[in-house]
A = this chain, B = another copy of it.
Amino acid sequence: MLTPYQDSRIQSSIRPLARAKSRSAVSCDTCQVRESAVCATLSDEERAVLDAAKSRHNVRRGQVICYEGDEANTVYTVETGTVRLSKLLADGRRQVTGFLTAGDFLGLMDDAVHACTAEAVDEVTVCRIERRAFERLCQRLPRLEHRLRAHASQVLAAAHEHMLLLGQRSPREKLACFLLRLHERLGNGAAPKDALSLPMKRTDIADFLGLTIETVSRTFTVMRQEGLIELPEPQLVIFKDREAIEDIAA
């Protein structure tokens, strides 16, 4: 059951030192996601309170931000990069439950422990706040609390959508959905309109879609042969027939 790929997952589970993350204290004014993150609704004064409690961190590719089962003493907002959320079974099988990108919030759990392991897929910057401080903030700022609930319900809706994908869709449909949704999330950048630069490896895609890497790879190949996409590099997808892909994903 353990393939070399899965071995690498286990190895990546070695706890990194906290100081491995480079830290810097910076104001919300320089934050690239202050319009979209959960703190977006705060007034200037309210944000000043936040400023005092938070710090910015760079997380290197592959590094763990928090472990499934860890006490949730910290909450994060992703500023740049892509974070992978995943859960492990005892024998090494892994389900990637989602990816976080710029503006996404991490640490919504009740009060106990993190539900998923969070790891940096590429170079990631996070805004970090101690949970205690954040909870005090929530008590003082009802709008923040309300915004968190709104965020939670969005994430939950996405989770339901993903359950539908995992339980009912074929590999072909899964991959089509995945590519379109990811493109919509990341595509707002400066990238060419029909190009999608995948931050994650095939293993991540496979574990996200409930498939094996071989099936993912084969499905990519078929789509390429059908002229739906081009794959100049494994991690660069060019949409050639978006309409056909949307039909598959429908």
Contacts and interface: CB of A to CB of B under 8 A. Distances in A.
Contacts of A159: 156, 159-160, 163
A119 to B, nearest CB: 15
A90 B108 CA distance: 33
23 contacts: A87-B160, A87-B161, A87-B164, A89-B168, A109-B157, A111-B150, A115-B153, A115-B161, A138-B146, A142-B145, A145-B146, A149-B149, A152-B153, A152-B156, A156-B156, A156-B159, A159-B159, A159-B160, A159-B163, A162-B163, A166-B167, A166-B210, A167-B209
A160 B116 contact: yes
Contacts of A155: 156
Contacts of A166: 163, 166-167, 210
A149 B94 contact: no
Interface string A165-180: 0111100000000000
A207 interface: yes
A210 B168 contact: yes
B207 A108 contact: no
A61 interface: no
Interface of A: 85, 87, 89-90, 93-95, 97, 108-111, 115-116, 138-139, 142, 145-146, 148-150, 152-157, 159-164, 166-169, 207-210, 250
Nearest to A88: B164
Contact of A164 (B95, B111, B145, B250): B95
A108 B163 contact: no
A171 to B, nearest CB: 12
Given A149-B148, A168-B89, A250-B90, A95 B163 contact: yes
B110 A167 contact: no
Contact of A207 (B89, B167, B208): B167
A244 B154 CA distance: 38
Contacts of A154: 110
Nearest to A145: B145
Contacts of A168: 89, 93-95, 210
Lowest 10 CB-CB distances: which A-B pairs, in order? A167-B210, A152-B152, A166-B166, A159-B159, A95-B164, A115-B157, A93-B168, A95-B167, A110-B153, A97-B160
